Structure 1
Amino acid sequence: MEDLNNNNGKPQQAMGEETRCGRRVAAVSCPALSAARLNLPGVMDAEGRVDESRLRMHIFKNSGVSPCERGLVWRFLFGMYPCSSTASERSLLQEQLLVRYQVMKRKWQQFLPSAVRIHLNGTDVELLSAVRYFDQRETQVQQQVQDQSEEVRDRLAFLELQAQILFERVTFDQEELQEAIRIIDKDVPRTNRDLSYYQNEGLGNLLVLRDILITYAAFHPEVSYAQGMNDLCSRFLEVLDSEVDTFWSFSCYMEKFSRDFRADGLHRKIELEAALLKELDPQLYAHLVKDTMESFTFCHRWLLLGFQREFEHSDALRLFEILSCDHLELISQQVDRARYRERLAQKYCTEDNLESELQAFNTDFTFELFICAAILLENREFLLRCRDGVQLIHFTSSLQGRLDLNSTLKKAEHHFYNYCKSCAWDYMSGYCRANRSKQEDFFYQLCSLFVLK
């Protein structure tokens, strides 16, 4: 039996996908995507395997992917589809993920039957319509199941038996799950309904979002649900347009970033942003930090949701995938390892110099922190005039939907490059005086890692 603790019930094989256009109510799953191809040069081979490093490089250098490619790209980018999988393998995995999600959702629904339907007070007419559209969708899904061939039904029945065994020992804490559902039912109606995805019959997607969030909270009690997850998950649902694929992609994302939704994660983000700003602009840092870090808390929502509200919606989606491709984070680690190898080689450094500790790159300074810093530095003069938290809140509110992504990216990359170049120059100046040609060669190698778009 597979280890549920290691992969949260996700199969280790692979599967495939395609993009969807014009759908207003999320599909349960999208088997056709399994065989779809990426029209990105050199990224996918003939059997459907993806070169992950080239995919991430393409995303970064092209400032994202086209909307038609986005659904397929995200399934690889966020780990739902293993990049090493072939199209035929992804077709099999798609069925496994579909059945496992259905079993998981049914398990909590049977445990808390009163929570299957959202409780409405009748004042939100749009939500009443959402329930109607959602019910119509459920009826269509049931009809599709009945129309499946006997061969498909038999195969899915076998996969369902496997899933039931896999999740048999999972138990729920009734009080904690009910509390999570209570918060979800408050947050889901607050999801941005101005998006076209939630217009007209798309209102039913609000209830799809609710089911995904409850299923996640039920099977990840160590994380459960925290405010803001609805907006984050909504982004996946809009792009993937599939309840099942959204659940698994969102779950993969949360494996890496769930800490950001806890108090310690909040403090860590704030401390890192403050430390970076101190490196880039000590005066602005000193003005904002004052006696505590509280003045930096306004940055946390930016970082938590990937600047979802600060840029126009399509640009916010683009930025989210740029940040998620981790291209510059990988580069910064390469540079740090390069410096470390040079230090260990002891070829160009004196014994006295070796006794000193070389300041390392802070690889916790992820690119999103430089995006945040670029916004702060762009508004430096206004921030220096801010005297209290009320003015800071007014400042952040004034930015919503107004920032230019291309300009912000360019400035963030400039700050990132200068930070890394400064660290590299410190190394060369202090440790490589003995051999100028080797110094220049080493500097060239470092610079070659930071070719900006």
Structure 2
Amino acid sequence: MEESPNGKPGLQAEGRCRRRVAAVSAPALSACRLTLAGVMDAEGRVDESRLRGHIFRNGGVTPSERGLAWRFLFGMYPCSSTALERSFLQEQLLVRYRVMKKKWQQFLPSTVRLQLNGTDAELFAAVRYFDEREAQTLQEAQDQSEEVKDRLAFLELQAQILFERVKFDLEELREAIRIIDKDVPRTNRDLSYYQEEGLGNLLVLRNILITYAAFHPEVGYAQGMNDLCSRFLEVLDCEVDTFWSFSCYMEKFSRDFMADGLHRKIELEAALLKELDPPLYAHLVRDNMERFTFCHRWLLLGFQREFKHSDALRLFEILSCDHLELISQKVDRARYQERLDQKHCTDGSESPQQTFNTDFTFELFICAAVLLDNRESLLHCRDDVQLIQFTSSLQGRLDLNSTLKKAESHFYNYCKRCAWDYMNGHRRANSIKDEDFFYQLRSLFILKR
């Protein structure tokens, strides 16, 4: 069987797709039956480029589409897979997650249950709901057919072999669990997903985070991961799918939870603001770069607190579709081709260097749009206390559509200026062609909201 480095099964496994899955959770099975209109073919394959463009241009997907779209968007499902192939993949992921969770629970049996201090009545209720759900899941497993049990037993043996050599660092894992047990109860319980019986989802979230930390010691656990993972759990409503989707997301963004990633984000946001508004940049960086630290929380959690919850989910998937980052690559490729053409038409003089900073991702322009929209208030902030008070005042008050339009405008103007700087010096005679180029560039930014 083919394996990927993180233990996620490939789709070329021997005997794949021989039968449909019967041993997965109800949310996962229903997701297998759904389709994404316009981006999925008859056999269930997804056009990834079209999916990302669909998400961006429509300002996100509908709530009914979101669960399935995220499974593709964040890499749990390969876009090239068919619906039948995903059924087999789902079963493998289910068994592997169970084996991984069982392994750390056997390693630290005293940490299997959340330690309660007796002061949080809601957590006591959460444990009760969670235990009831676990008992129901166990009963459903016992009621499965012998064929399904045999197949799951075989997959479990494979998973045990796969993870047999994984070793845990006792102290590191204990410390990760200690922080997780502090953060999970602080997860936003006002969400409907955590109301009444849904409180048990807090314990599901805990299991996912501990399993991730145990099998990704190079990343471990950092504060903020609970809020991020909670977003996946709410949308996917499935412990197994949440773990794998969250893991795929962290493969790309785990650095953001580390010190060097924090400093890099701050430096990039400061550099972009310097491009867009030098006076505001000079004011914020007057003492040191640490005055931009508040932007890192915005970027790390996808502005989770600054927009209302439904809009924060939309923004998260818009940012994750990387549509504008792909546009910037197209712009840069177009400019590169122009340099090649210019080189053939000149005496061989050296072509200009790239001026477009491809590290300026769309999320940075979202952040810049918020800063520029509140420029006067920021200029009146004279110390860190006033800055913190200002940023706190924005929570839940920002308008997503307005912010997106402003961010797109800043992004477009930045792309246009970078392209114009080149063209203005090397293609003055082709003004009509320049206009065509900018028209095509602008058309990539038009949204339907």
TM-score, normalized by the shorter chain, greater than 0.5: yes
2:260 corresponds to: 264
- The residue aligned with 2:9 is 11
* Superposition CA RMSD, Å: 1.9
Stretch moving more, 434-443 or 374-383: 434-443
1:33 maps to a residue whose letter is: S
Are 2:425 and 1:425 equivalent residues in the alignment? Answer: no
> In the alignment, which of 397, 402, 414 is matched to residue 407 of structure 1?
402
Which of 357, 376, 390 is equivalent to 1:362?
Answer: 357
1:92-119 deviation digits (Å, cap 9, x = unpaired): 0000000000000000000000010011
1:284 maps to 2:280: yes
Cα displacement string for residues 190-241 of structure 1 (whole angstroms, at most 9, x for unaligned residues): 0000000000010000000000000000000000000000000000000000
Alignment of 1:297-336 (within 5 A): 297-336=293-332
**1: CA distance, partners of 2:383 / 2:25:** 48
Counting only pairs closer than 5 Å after superposition, residues 40-439 of structure 1 correspond to structure 2 as 40=37, 42-346=38-342, 350-351=346-347, 354-355=349-350, 357-439=352-434
Between the aligned partners of 2:174 and 2:413, the Cα distance in structure 1 is 49
Conserved? CA contact 1:71–1:239, under 8 Å: yes
Q: TM-score w.r.t. structure 1 length?
A: 0.93
For 2:81 and 2:35, locate their aligned partners in 1 and report how far apart those are by CA, in whole Å: 14
Paired position in structure 2 for 1:24: none
Q: Which amino acid aligns with 2:11?
A: Q
C-alpha displacement at 1:12, in angstroms?
1.4
Distance 1:224 1:349 in 2: 55
**Does structure 2 retain, via aligned residues, the 8 Å contact 1:424–1:446?**
no
- Residue 103 of structure 1 contacts residue 163 of structure 1 at CA under 8 Å; is this kept in 2? yes
In structure 2, distance between residues paired with 1:336 and 1:39: 31
Structure 1, unaligned runs of 5 or more:
17-26
How many Å separate the matches in 2 of 1:121 and 1:2? Answer: 46
Deviation string 1:353-387 (CA, Å, 9 cap, x unpaired) is x4363342111100000000000000000101110
Displacement, 1:346? 2.4
Quote the offset at 1:147 in angstroms.
Answer: 0.6
TM normalised by structure 2 equals 0.94
Q: Distance in 2 between matches of 1:409 and 1:243?
A: 32
How far apart in 2 are the matches of 1:437 and 1:62? Answer: 31
Tell me if structure 2 keeps the 8 A contact 1:306–1:316. Answer: yes
Task: Give the CA deviation at 1:33.
Answer: 3.4
Distance in 2 between residues matched to 1:439 and 1:10, nearest whole Å: 47
Match status 1:32 vs 2:39: no
After superposition, the Cα gap between the structure-2 partners of 1:169 and 1:253, relative to the gap in structure 1 and judged at 3 Å, is same
* Preserved CA contact (<8 Å) 1:370 1:416: yes
Preserved CA contact (<8 Å) 1:118 1:185 = yes
Distance of 1:43 and 1:157 partners within structure 2: 36
- Amino acid across the alignment from 1:156: L
Q: Secondary structure in 2 aligned to 1:84?
A: coil
**What letter corresponds to residue 128 of structure 1 in structure 2?**
F
* Alpha-carbon shift at residue 351 of structure 1 (Å): 4.2
Residues 1:177 and 1:2: Cα distance change in structure 2 (over 3 Å): farther
Q: Output the CA distance in 2 between the equivalents of 1:63 and 1:107.
A: 41
Q: Distance in 2 between matches of 1:339 and 1:143?
A: 62
Given the superposition, is the C-alpha separation of residues 203 and 441 from structure 1 closer, same or farther in structure 2, using an over 3 Å criterion? closer
Structure 1 Cα separation of the partners of residues 201 and 338 of structure 2: 54
Partner of 1:23: none
Partner Cα separation in structure 2 for residue 358 and residue 102 of structure 1: 52
Shift of 1:35: 3.1
What code does the residue aligned with 2:313 have? L
State the Cα distance separating 1:162 from its structure 2 match: 0.5
* C-alpha distance in structure 2 between counterparts of 1:336 and 1:77, whole Å: 24
Contact 2:57 2:446 in 1 (8 A): no
Structure 2: distance between partners of 1:444 and 1:313: 35
